[in-house]
Structure formats: C-alpha cells, structure tokens
Structure 1
Amino acid sequence: MAALPPLNSVLASGSDVDDPLASALATLFEPSPILYSDLVPGLAAYIPASSRPIAMYSDLIDASLAVISTWSDDLKAQFIAGHPRIGEVKGLSHLSAKEQAAAATPPEVLARLAHLNACYEYRYPGLRYITFVNRRTRAMIKDEMEGVLRLEPSLSSNQPVVETVGRVEVAGEEWKKELERAVVDVGKIAKSRLKSLGVD
C-alpha cells in the first residue's frame, strides 16, 4: 500500500527524485518522466514563493495544479499520459488498480475499452482519456467514453473503425477543452487518493 511522507518533510525537501516531495507527487499523480523533470522542480520553486500556505496535502495538490496551469499544452498532455489508460490491467500502481476495480470487469468490457482508447487517441492526437472514476465501474466508464466520442453503446472490440471517428485539430478549441478537462480530473483523482490514504 502506498503511503505519503509527513507533509513537513515534503515541504522542506528539495527537488531530487529521491526526495519526499517527488515521492508524494508520484503517489498522488502517478510517476512519470514529466512529473520528475517539470512538476517536482516547479513545485519546489513555487512553494516558498507562494502567498498561500500549504497546511494540508490538499493544498499541495492545489499548488501542483497551479504550477501545471502555467505549462504549455504539450507538457500538460505529457503529464496526463502518466496515468494509465482506462481498462488497463497490467503495470498499474496499487492505487490505480484499486480505483479501476480491475478484478470486477468482464473481458468484453476490457476489450471494448481498449478499442475506445484507440478511438479517443485517434480523435484527440497526443491526449489520453482521463476521468475521475469515483467508484464507477469500468462498464460505466465505457458508456461515458462512448458519449464523449459520440458513439452508440456497444461491446464491439473493433467497431467503429478507428479512422472513422474523426480527428480534431491539435491545439484547436475542442482539443484544448478536452486537455483542460483531463487536467481537472487528474486533480480530482489526486484528492480522492488522499481520502483513500486517510490523509487531508
């Protein structure tokens, strides 16, 4: 089970990958290259310069989102790609596996989700579908993804053909809106993880 270091040690640490700040952020947001190369040092610089005190871990998440909000779209897209795809069952962190309830999902739903991920990533180049699961089943997320992609409900693992879902322009209005929605949901996921860890 993942655990968070004491907040005072996090706030007093540096920006090395072995420091408590990096460990805490990797637990809350999932470890990824962009987390270590950009979020950790960005947050380490932001904390002492901020006029808002960080008294709880939820404040640290808010500060992280403030740092992320200053990033380019490309950095934001790399950051959300640090989260596993909906429906993945291998290589998940303990918290991701718990959130996605891997053992309770029928194989046909997993196959449909894999296809929907491919459709989504074709439609929104460079993005990964992220959503705050909030105890919903993967079958419910399947329905949500079909709604986002404007597809009829189905359990097909190969329909529609990926290339027929249409493609939005990278950095266009719809693409940016979807990117920002994903960043917001990453914050919701992080705060939900705090609750599951029994931390404020």
Structure 2
Amino acid sequence: MSALPAIHDALASDELLANALAVLFEPSPVLFSHLVPGLVAYIPSSPQPIRTYSALIDASLATIATWPDDLRARFVAGHPRIGEVSGLSRLSANEQAAAATPPDVLARLAHLNACYERRYPGLRYITFVNGRTRAAVMAEMEGALGLEPSLSPDQPPLRTVASVDVGGQEWRRELDRAVVDVGRIAKSRLRALGAE
C-alpha cells in the first residue's frame, strides 16, 4: 500500500497535498510555507494537467525554480545531511543504508559535510544516493570538494577550506545541482512507493 493518497485526492486537499509532498521531498518549514501554497496557485494554470505524482514533482520543481536563492537553499536543507543517522524519515534511512555504515565513514562524512557547508555557505550537500553506500557517497563528496580520499575525520582542517561567494556563479551552480537531485530523489521515492 502506498504512503500517498490518490493524486486527485491530494490535489483536492491542501492537507493531503502537504502530506504527500512531505513524503516525496522531506517535511520542512519551506515546503509547508511556500511550496504547498505555490502549487495551489500554480496547478490551475499549469500548461499540462497534473494527473500523476511524477507530474506533481515536475510542477513542484517548476515552482521552486521561481524562488529566490535563499528560499531554494532552505528547501534543499530540508533533506538530512549525508551520514546522519538520527531523525531520518523512513525513506531517507532506506536511501542512506543507515545500518551498514562503519563509524569511521560516519565520522568522515560529518567532517565532509562541515567542509562542504564552509565552502558553500547556506547550502547542504544533497545527492541522489540511488542505493549507493555511504562510503561511495563519501568518495563522491571528496571528489566534489577536490579532496584526496581519506578516512580522517579532521582532514583537511576546516579552517583551511575556502568559501565561495554566496550567490556567485559556483554557489548558484551547486544550488541548481542540489535542487535537481532533490527532484531525482523524489522521483525515486515515488517508484519505491509504487505510486508512479
């Protein structure tokens, strides 16, 4: 049984819509304060009728694309950090393979998250995990940050990580990438729920 109501029911009720979006995108204040009302306004004038959850995800991403950078960054931050083990939704825990991660990988991921958030102030590292282990995502994060592979929880020292300009080209490119991956995660969740 799907954790999502029938699409026509979700579109007919702001509460059901909010609940469905929270399953697909993770619950966050921005989802409730901006995405739900934005979709309620967008759906009646949508160029294509919304008849599936996949189309709803696409409409959500179209709505998010109109937001200012700070709001999009807050939306992305609704997803848990890679490597977090507590406070995860059931779907996030499944996606991140919480039970099979060695402590040294978790410690390295915590440091990489801190490095990433120093490099890209106001952003959170989001990636479409797609069944990969946290160790594989750790290697991806190291590559994205230009770091050598390591299991050291404190290398490089955080103070040595240079920040990019908030709102600058590199920062925006990373924000855009994260929003795309949030959409990919939502579509993957949809398939996992059998509600596509």
Q: Which range, TM-score by smaller chain?
A: over 0.9
Matches within 5 A, 1:5-154: 5-14=5-14, 19-154=15-150
In 1, the alpha carbon distance for the partners of 2:181 and 2:7 equals 23
* Counterpart residue identity of residue 28, structure 1: L
1:138-160 CA distance string (max 9 Å, x none) = 00000000001100000000111
* Counterpart residue identity of residue 80, structure 1: V
Partner of 1:168: 164
CA RMSD of aligned residues (A): 1.0
1:31 aligned counterpart, secondary structure: coil
Distance 1:2 1:164, change over 3 A: farther
- Contact 2:2/2:194 (CA < 8 Å) preserved in 1? no
- Contact 2:120/2:166 (CA < 8 Å) preserved in 1? yes
Distance 1:2 1:102, change over 3 A: farther
TM-score (norm 2): 0.98
Structure 1 runs of 4+ aligned residues shifted over 3 Å read none
In the TM superposition, residue 124 of structure 1 has moved relative to its aligned partner by 0.2
1:107-157 CA distance string (max 9 Å, x none) = 100000000000000000000000000111100000000001100000000
- Contact 1:2/1:94 (CA < 8 Å) preserved in 2? no
Question: Aligned residue pairs: how many?
Answer: 196
In the TM superposition, residue 96 of structure 1 has moved relative to its aligned partner by 0.2
TM-score (norm 1): 0.96
In 2, the alpha carbon distance for the partners of 1:2 and 1:113 equals 32
In the TM superposition, residue 51 of structure 1 has moved relative to its aligned partner by 2.1
1:45 aligned counterpart, secondary structure: helix
In the TM superposition, residue 2 of structure 1 has moved relative to its aligned partner by 7.2
Overall identity of the aligned pairs, in %:
71
Could you list the runs of 5+ residues in structure 2 that have no partner in the other structure? none
Partner of 1:192: 188
- Contact 1:87/1:100 (CA < 8 Å) preserved in 2? yes
1:74 aligned counterpart, secondary structure: helix
